[in-house]
């Protein structure tokens, strides 16, 4: 089978879901960007922003005059810590089932500067973000009612981010959410079957093949996974096997900050706009048990397809059948890699 020409489907071994790839539809040469958006300049400080230092948030709380990162409990939290874990099964046949979900939602501002992003912040300040994520993971993960801590960033209005001020969120839940639950099952089974780690083995294979690597440093590797669904999707894996932020050395924390900055600034060069995306860290569950089979990694899911305005939609066959893509992961990686090197 020719992966560059024939329609085929690729397996995501982490979620065990398939993606349909139609490379023949993308054989036409790259058209380049067709539409550009005017750069939207943000002020360093926005008096109407509820995340800027000193400003008033909903409910009347004033932000402190913070200088680095700033963490607070979300004023409109989707989860509440005092929720009961009661289970309902109306009719008793497992058809109408609900469970109480205790949890905590926090906002983590990256910087007091309203106009910066991970891509434009100084490396030392991104390192500060990684340290704050580590503290939050440690604090929330240690709570008895918290079984999983999800740290993520939604960037850009296209991804539903309500505010351009650079920030991420942390949602700590008692149950393991869907995406990490699938990855947890696959990683556990793989380690039982092969006596090794799924993502250690996969990263090794990718480093040998090279074609899907975007960039790398001493501690982390960024690649377009073979099974990528989103046009410019990226998976970042730690080189050394570790399961959470808590296991990173100071040098690895810096390596993570550096590759996050590098990937996000590469994205900004694809269509010469601040690239929208959802990014998140996937770490081992924080229940009582140890989970050595979990490999620490991060996902970037950006929606843009052909220009600053043309995004990918998951509709039709993708909604009812399986996700599909035209540009192959290899083509996307080649384009990202060339933009990544140009920056150095």
CB 72 within 8 A of CB 106: yes
Count the Cβ atoms, other than its own, within 10 Å of residue 153: 23
* Nearest distance from C-beta of residue 283 to Zn ion, angstroms: 9
Stretches 61-69, 74-82, 102-110, 238-246: which one binds Zn ion (CB under 5 A)?
238-246
Query: Which CB atom, from 165 or from 335, has the smaller least distance to Zn ion?
Result: 165
241 is an interface residue for Zn ion by CB under 5 A: yes
- DSSP codes joined into one string, 274-288: ---EEEEEE----SS
Alpha-carbon gap, residue 277 to 107, rounded angstroms: 17
113 is an interface residue for Zn ion by CB under 5 A: no
Q: Find how far residue 172's CA is from the centre of its chain.
A: 16
* Nearest distance from C-beta of residue 82 to Zn ion, angstroms: 30
CB 151 within 8 A of CB 280: yes
Show contacts with Zn ion in window 24-53 (CB under 5 A): 46, 49, 51-52
Query: Which CB atom, from 247 or from 334, has the smaller least distance to Zn ion?
Result: 247
Helix residue spans in 154-218 (DSSP H) = 178-194, 198-209
* Nearest distance from C-beta of residue 52 to Zn ion, angstroms: 3
Residue 167 bears catalytic tag: yes
Which residues have CB under 8 Å from 270's CB, separation 6+?
232, 304, 335, 336, 339
Query: Which CB atom, from 241 or from 291, has the smaller least distance to Zn ion?
Result: 241
Could you report how far apart the first and last alpha carbons of the chain are, in Å?
Answer: 37
- Active-site residue, selected from the candidate residues 114, 148, 165, 167: 167
155 is an interface residue for Zn ion by CB under 5 A: no
Among 106, 165, 306, 325, binds Zn ion (CB under 5 A): 165
Query: Which CB atom, from 62 or from 85, has the smaller least distance to Zn ion?
Result: 62
Interface residue list for Zn ion (CB under 5 A): 46, 49, 51-52, 114, 165, 183, 197, 199-200, 241, 282, 295
Catalytic residue numbers read: 167
């Amino acid at each position: 089978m020719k992966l560059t020409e024939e329609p085929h489907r690729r397996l995501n071994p982490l979620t065990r879901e398939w993606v349909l790839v139609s490379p023949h539809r993308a054989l036409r040469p790259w058209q380049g960007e067709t539409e550009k958006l005017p750069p939207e300049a943000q002020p360093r400080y926005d008096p109407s922003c509820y995340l800027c230092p000193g400003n008033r948030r909903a409910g009347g709380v004033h932000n402190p005059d913070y200088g680095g990162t700033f963490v607070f409990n979300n004023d409109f939290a989707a989860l509440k810590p005092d929720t009961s874990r009661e289970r309902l099964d109306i009719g008793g046949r497992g058809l109408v089932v609900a469970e109480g979900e205790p949890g905590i939602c926090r906002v983590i501002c990256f910087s007091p500067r309203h106009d910066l992003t991970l891509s434009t912040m100084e490396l030392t300040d991104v390192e500060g973000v990684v340290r704050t994520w580590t503290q939050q993971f440690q604090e929330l993960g240690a709570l008895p009612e918290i079984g999983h801590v999800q740290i993520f960033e939604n960037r850009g209005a296209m991804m539903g981010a309500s505010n351009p001020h650079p920030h991420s969120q942390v949602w700590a839940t008692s149950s393991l959410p869907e995406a990490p639950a699938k990855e947890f099952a696959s990683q556990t089974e793989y380690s039982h079957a092969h006596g090794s780690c799924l993502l250690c083995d996969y990263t090794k294979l990718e480093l040998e093949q090279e074609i899907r690597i975007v960039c790398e440093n001493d501690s982390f590797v960024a690649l377009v996974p073979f099974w990528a669904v989103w046009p410019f999707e990226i998976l970042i894996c730690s080189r050394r096997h570790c399961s959470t932020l808590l296991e990173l050395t100071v040098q690895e924390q810096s390596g993570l900050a550096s590759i996050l900055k590098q990937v996000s600034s590469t994205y900004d060069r694809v269509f010469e706009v601040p690239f929208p995306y959802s990014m998140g860290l996937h770490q081992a569950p924080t229940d009582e048990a140890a989970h050595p089979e979990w490999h620490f990694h991060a996902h970037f899911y950006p929606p843009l397809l052909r220009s600053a305005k043309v995004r990918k939609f998951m509709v039709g066959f993708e909604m009812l059948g399986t996700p599909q893509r035209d540009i192959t992961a290899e083509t996307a990686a080649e384009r990202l890699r060339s933009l990544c090197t140009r920056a150095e």
